[in-house]
C-alpha cells in the first residue's frame, strides 16, 4: 500500500511495489507510456519522456498538477546541449531561465547509445532523495525497451522485405508465401504497382524504410519494400476497384513529394509500373526498371525524376535498349527544325505534346491550350511545313514524332514541363479513399 512521507505529506509507493509495477509496465502493450506512468506514481510528480530529437513520446501528470504545462526540452536545459551522462542531473529553477520549478533529468542511454531523456518536474510536491533513484531506474528500463522494440521492428521489417523479394521474383511455393504473409498481416492477394528506385550517391542508408513509411502514410495503402542489387523496390497496394491509371498517377505524385523531402541531394530516379496481380509482379519489375533506364540514359542526373510506365508507353523498349547516339540522331532528324530556343518553336512542341496527350482531339487540345481549334490546326500544319511530317494524316509520322517527344520529356525540355500533378492527385485522393472504404 502507498505510504506517506512525514515531511511533505506526499503519498508514494514502497520500492518493492515500485519494482513490481515497473516489471508489469515493461510487458504492457504501451510499455513506454506505462513506465512513465509508474515513474509518476512512484514520485507523485509530472513526468515526461523526450526522444533524442526533443519530441515528447509520453507524458503523465498527477491530478494535483493536471493543469501544469510541461516546458519543451530546450527550455529545460536553457538552450544548451542536454546532458547525456548515465547519472540523473538536477536542474535548478533560476530567474531568467524560464524555469519556475526544479527538474530531474535522466538521459536514456543503453549500450552506449543515447536514445532520449526522462524528465521529472518538482510539481506538486518537493523532491525527496528517492526521486532520483526512481527516475534512474525508469530511464534504464525505458532504454532496454527502446532496444527491444527496435529489434522486434527490425525482425518484422526484414520478414516483410523478404516476402516482397519473393513476390517480385515469383519464387517460393504460393502456399508458403500466403502463410507467411498472413502471419505478418500482409494482404498477399492484393493487386499492386511496383516502384523501382535508383538511389543517388550519398542517399541515407535507411531511404528504403523512410520511402515506404512516407508513401504508406500519404496514400493510406499497404507498402512492401525491399532492396535489390541496384536499388529499392516498393510494392504498393491498389484498392480493389480502383483503375490502374488513377492509382499510378497518385503514386507518382506522392513519390515526387517524397523524394524531394527525403533525399534533398538530388539525382534520385524512380519508375512506376502499371497495377498487376501477384503472379505478374515480374512483369511489373521489368516495366519499372525500363522506365528508370530511360530516365538514366536521357537525363543529366542532377535532379529527381519520377515517371510512370504510362508516361512512356511502348516506346520505352526502344529508348531503354536502343543505341543512345542513334536515338539522338533520330530526334534531330524528326524535330530538328523545332528545337530552336525560341517562343514559336516551344509553342509548336507544346501543341504537339498536348495533341497526343488528348488522343489527337482538336477540340480537347484547343480547350487545354486556351486557343481556337483553327489555331491548333495552323500550328500542326506549321509542323508539317518545317519537318515534312504529316502529324495529322500519317500514322508512321505520328509514331515517330510521339517517340521523339518522349525523349524531349526525359530531357525535361522547357516546353514539356509536366503540368502539375497536384490537381490530379487531389482528385485521385478522394476516389482512392472512397474505393478503399468500399473494398
How much is the pLDDT for 119? 92
CA dihedral 181, 187, 193, 195 (to 10 degrees): -40
What strand order describes the sheet that includes 269-276? 223-227, 232-237, 192-198, 269-276, 305-308
Query: Could you tell me the domains of the chain?
Result: 3-152 (3.30.450.40), 189-321 (3.30.70.270), 323-439 (1.10.10)
State whether the Cα torsion 235-236-240-243 is positive or negative: negative
CA 297 to chain centroid, in Å, comes to 26
| Predicted model pTM | 0.62
First and final CA of the chain: distance in angstroms?
53
How much is the pLDDT for 429? 47
**Segment holding 109, helix H or strand E:** strand 103-110
C-alpha cell belonging to residue 438: 468500399
C-alpha cell belonging to residue 132: 532520483
Say how far apart CA 198 and CA 408 lie, in whole Å. Answer: 21
- What length is written for the chain? 439
Say how far apart CA 400 and CA 108 lie, in whole Å. Answer: 64
Those residues whose C-beta lies under 8 Å from the C-beta of residue 278, and which sit 6 or more positions away, are 167, 188, 189, 190, 191, 192
How much is the pLDDT for 364? 92
Query: Phi-psi region for residue 359, left (φ > 0), alpha (ψ -120 to 50) or beta?
Result: left
Can you list the positions of beta strands (E) in 157-301?
A: 192-198, 223-227, 232-237, 269-276
User: What φ, ψ does residue 258 adopt, rounded to 5°?
Assistant: -65, -45
Low-confidence ranges of the chain (pLDDT < 50): 1-11, 418-426, 429-431, 433-439
Cβ count within 10 A of residue 10 = 19
How much is the pLDDT for 65? 64
C-alpha cell belonging to residue 235: 510494392
Say how far apart CA 104 and CA 127 lie, in whole Å. Answer: 9
Q: Are 47 and 38 in contact (CB under 8 A)?
A: no
C-alpha cell belonging to residue 163: 516476402
Amino acid at each position: 500500500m502507498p505510504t506517506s512521507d512525514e515531511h511533505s505529506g506526499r503519498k508514494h509507493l514502497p520500492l518493492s511495489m515500485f519494482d513490481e509495477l515497473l516489471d508489469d509496465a515493461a510487458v504492457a502493450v504501451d510499455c513506454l507510456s506505462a513506465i512513465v506512468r509508474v515513474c509518476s506514481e512512484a514520485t507523485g510528480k509530472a513526468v515526461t519522456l523526450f526522444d533524442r530529437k526533443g519530441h515528447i513520446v509520453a507524458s503523465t501528470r498527477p491530478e494535483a498538477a493536471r493543469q501544469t504545462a510541461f516546458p519543451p526540452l530546450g527550455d529545460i536545459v536553457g538552450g544548451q546541449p542536454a546532458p547525456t551522462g548515465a547519472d540523473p542531473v538536477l536542474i535548478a529553477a533560476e530567474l531568467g531561465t524560464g524555469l519556475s520549478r526544479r527538474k530531474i533529468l535522466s538521459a536514456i542511454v543503453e549500450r552506449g547509445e543515447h536514445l532520449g531523456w526522462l524528465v521529472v518536474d518538482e510539481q506538486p510536491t518537493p523532491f525527496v532523495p528517492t526521486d532520483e533513484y526512481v527516475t534512474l531506474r525508469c530511464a534504464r528500463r525505458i532504454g532496454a525497451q527502446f532496444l527491444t522494440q527496435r529489434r522486434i521492428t527490425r525482425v518484422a521489417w526484414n520478414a516483410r522485405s523478404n516476402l516482397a523479394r519473393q513476390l517480385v521474383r515469383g519464387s517460393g511455393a504460393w502456399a508458403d508465401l500466403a502463410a507467411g504473409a498472413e502471419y505478418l498481416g500482409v494482404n498477399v492477394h492484393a493487386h499492386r504497382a511496383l516502384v523501382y528506385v535508383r538511389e543517388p550517391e550519398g542517399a541515407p542508408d535507411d531511404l528504403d524504410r523512410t520511402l515506404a513509411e512516407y508513401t504508406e502514410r500519404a496514400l493510406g495503402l499497404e507498402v512492401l519494400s525491399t532492396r535489390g542489387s541496384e536499388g529499392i523496390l516498393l510494392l504498393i497496394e491498389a484498392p480493389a476497384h480502383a483503375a490502374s491509371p488513377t492509382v499510378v498517377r497518385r503514386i507518382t505524385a506522392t513519390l515526387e513529394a517524397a523524394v524531394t523531402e527525403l533525399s534533398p541531394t538530388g539525382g534520385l530516379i524512380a519508375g512506376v509500373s502499371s497495377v498487376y496481380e501477384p503472379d505478374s509482379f515480374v512483369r511489373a519489375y521489368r516495366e519499372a526498371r525500363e522506365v528508370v533506364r530511360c530516365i538514366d540514359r536521357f537525363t543529366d542526373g542532377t535532379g529527381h525524376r519520377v515517371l510512370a510506365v504510362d508516361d512512356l508507353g511502348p516506346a520505352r523498349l526502344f529508348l531503354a535498349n536502343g543505341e543512345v547516339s542513334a536515338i539522338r540522331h533520330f530526334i534531330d532528324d524528326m524535330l530538328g527544325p523545332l528545337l530552336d530556343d525560341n517562343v514559336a518553336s516551344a509553342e509548336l512542341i507544346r501543341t504537339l505534346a498536348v495533341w497526343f496527350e488528348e488522343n489527337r482531339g482538336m477540340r480537347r487540345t484547343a480547350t487545354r491550350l486556351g486557343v481556337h481549334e483553327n489555331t491548333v490546326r495552323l500550328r500542326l500544319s506549321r509542323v508539317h511545313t518545317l519537318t515534312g511530317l504529316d502529324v495529322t494524316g500519317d500514322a508512321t509520322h505520328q509514331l515517330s514524332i510521339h517517340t521523339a517527344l518522349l525523349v524531349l520529356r526525359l530531357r525535361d525540355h522547357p516546353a514539356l514541363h509536366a503540368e502539375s500533378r497536384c490537381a490530379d492527385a487531389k482528385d485521385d485522393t478522394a476516389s482512392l479513399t472512397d474505393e478503399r472504404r468500399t473494398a
